[in-house]
Chains A and B, each alone.
Chain A
């Protein structure tokens, strides 16, 4: 663990130093290049704003209305029937939609059931092995102005489903 955190602390500064040294040796105008790239980044961030506002507001309407909790309540009995703890369902549903909400739920599950409980380990694995599909779609396609996503959303959401099912099966086999 301490080695791992050590590596990630060193990685970024070392990477930056390497880039700057190589650039200087190759006589690249490093500062000018940095500013040029940075300008592009500033433009990108601004163009992202409407995409993020739109998506985040819609998600928060759905959550704050209680509709999402109601949907979870409907599916939970079915899951309990096949042996999946229903407490994990909110996390599985929210994970593709909102990264911060999912992290909050994982923390909540771990704090109330214990880090080494079955459901705590399941939540941790699920959190670590999937990513926020809707956010990635919004940011990646929004920033470059893609307005026809074709089958991207289907692939992303089905991949999340596979990751979630895989987490449940793997954690059940290893820790069950």
Chain B
């Protein structure tokens, strides 16, 4: 599906530009955005190196195991296929915690690391049930305090910049619940289809 969506985005864009004479802009955008993507990756290097370094120390000090054990009763319901004290649990929890506190820079490396551990568990190049559940939690956009949005509201003279915290949290919870339900639904549909 991702193959089709990816090709479709580019092809639709090029055909549309051909029909409406925007080919110039498309041509520029191709090279500019490739450049941007490289800059984005380089920006990720420092974050990934630093956080995976710190998390390795935390892992070797046994802190991830402790965290995983403490919160596993809750999380193991959501991830039934991950053993209780597997390192994946620790990384999943670190990712969720970092997301909740709006520490996006720390959340991404831990999320990737969690995926890597989940891949070790499944041992295949196909997305496993746990991986998709974990992805669903992340795309639902967990946030306790949407600090970037608050900052923008503050900048544009809102009388009460934080008043959207409650509605945002509520919307996030509904989105998360929806994501987890859909995840379950598609998992069972998929299993039935493949027998």
User: At the interface, is chain A mostly helix, strand, loop or mixed?
Assistant: helix
Bound form: Cα–Cα A30–B175 in Å = 39
Report whether A155 and B179 are in contact in the complex, using a CB–CB cutoff of 8 Å. yes
Q: A41-B50, A53-B34, A53-B38 are in contact. Are A115 and B156 (CB under 8 A)?
A: yes
Report whether B30 and A145 are in contact in the complex, using a CB–CB cutoff of 8 Å. no
Which A110-135 residues sit within 8 Å CB-CB of chain B? 110-111, 114-116, 120-121, 124-133
Bound form: Cα–Cα A26–B37 in Å = 41
Report whether A140 and B168 are in contact in the complex, using a CB–CB cutoff of 8 Å. no
Residues of A within 8 A of B59 (CB): 33, 37
Interface status of B71 (Cβ within 8 A of chain A): no
Report whether B167 and A171 are in contact in the complex, using a CB–CB cutoff of 8 Å. yes
Interface status of A73 (Cβ within 8 A of chain B): no
Q: A128-B141, A139-B112, A155-B182 are in contact. Are A150 and B132 (CB under 8 A)?
A: yes
Q: A23-B61, A61-B26 are in contact. Are A110 and B152 (CB under 8 A)?
A: yes
Q: A56-B36, A124-B168 are in contact. Are A146 and B44 (CB under 8 A)?
A: no
- State the Cβ distance, B173 to closest chain A Cβ, in Å: 9
Q: What number of A residues sit within 8 Å (CB to CB) of B?
A: 99
Q: A60-B32, A151-B132 are in contact. Are A33 and B56 (CB under 8 A)?
A: yes
Report whether B41 and A45 are in contact in the complex, using a CB–CB cutoff of 8 Å. yes
Bound form: Cα–Cα A174–B186 in Å = 33
Report whether A60 and B178 are in contact in the complex, using a CB–CB cutoff of 8 Å. no
Residues of B within 8 A of A45 (CB): 41-42, 44-45, 48-49
Interface status of A42 (Cβ within 8 A of chain B): yes
Interface status of B108 (Cβ within 8 A of chain A): yes
Interface status of A55 (Cβ within 8 A of chain B): yes
Report whether A154 and B186 are in contact in the complex, using a CB–CB cutoff of 8 Å. yes
Interface status of B63 (Cβ within 8 A of chain A): yes
Bound form: Cα–Cα A155–B138 in Å = 11
Residues of A within 8 A of B157 (CB): 114-115
Report whether A163 and B125 are in contact in the complex, using a CB–CB cutoff of 8 Å. no
Residues of A within 8 A of B136 (CB): 152, 155-156, 159
Q: A16-B54, A130-B175, A166-B171 are in contact. Are A62 and B9 (CB under 8 A)?
A: yes
Interface status of A82 (Cβ within 8 A of chain B): no
Q: Which positions in A face B, CB cutoff 8 Å?
A: 1, 4-5, 7-8, 11-12, 16, 19-20, 22-23, 26, 28-30, 33-42, 44-46, 48-49, 52-67, 70, 96, 103, 106-107, 110-111, 114-116, 120-121, 124-133, 136-137, 139-141, 143-156, 158-160, 162-163, 166-167, 170-171, 174-175
10 further A-B pairs in the complex, CB-CB below 8 A; given A55-B37, A162-B182: A26-B62, A45-B49, A110-B152, A114-B157, A116-B160, A125-B164, A143-B115, A143-B116, A146-B119, A170-B170
Q: Which positions in B face A, CB cutoff 8 Å?
A: 1-2, 5-7, 9-10, 12-14, 16-17, 20, 22, 25-26, 28-30, 32-34, 36-38, 40-42, 44-45, 48-63, 101-103, 106, 108-109, 111-112, 115-116, 119, 125-127, 131-132, 134-136, 138-141, 143, 145-150, 152-154, 156-164, 166-172, 174-176, 178-179, 182-183, 186-187, 189-190
A-B contact pairs, 13 of them (CB 8 A): A4-B147, A28-B57, A35-B53, A37-B57, A41-B109, A60-B32, A61-B29, A64-B26, A67-B13, A110-B156, A155-B135, A155-B139, A162-B175
